[in-house]
Amino acid sequence: MAAAGTLLVTGASGGIGRAVAARFLDAGWNVALLARRAEALQALAEGRPGALALPCDVTREAEVEAAFAAALERFGRLDVLFNNAGIFPPSGPIDELELADWQRAVDVNLTGMFLAARAAFRIMRRQSPRGGRIINNGSISAHAPRPGSVGYTATKHAVTGLTRTLALDGRPFDIACGQIDIGNALTDMAEKMTRGVPQADGSVRVEPVMDVAAVVDAVETMARMPAGANVLFLTVMATGMPFVGRG
pLDDT digits (tens, 9 = 90+) for 50-106: 999 999 999 999 999 999 999 999 999 999 999 999 999 999 999 999 999 999 999
pLDDT digits (tens, 9 = 90+) for 13-25: 999 999 999 999 9
pLDDT of residue 188: 79
53 contacts 44 by C-beta, under 8 angstroms? yes
- From the DSSP assignment, how many helices (H) and strands (E) are in the chain? 7, 9
Per-chain mean pLDDT for the chain? 95
> Which candidate, 114, 230, 107, 246, places its Cα nearest to that of 184?
246
Buried b (16+ CB within 10 A) or exposed e, 191-219: eebeeebeeeeeeeeebebbebeebbebb
The dihedrals phi and psi of 93, each to the nearest 5 degrees, come to: -65, 155
Question: What percent of the chain stands above pLDDT 90?
Answer: 85
In order of 29, 108, 124, 134, the CA distances from 72 in angstroms are 14, 23, 10, 16
pLDDT digits (tens, 9 = 90+) for 180-215: 999 999 987 778 888 988 888 889 999 899 999 999
CA distance 151 to 148: 9
Which residues does residue 134 pair with via DSSP β-bridges, in sequence order?
Answer: 81, 177
Give catalytic residue positions. 152
CA distance 159 to 8: 18
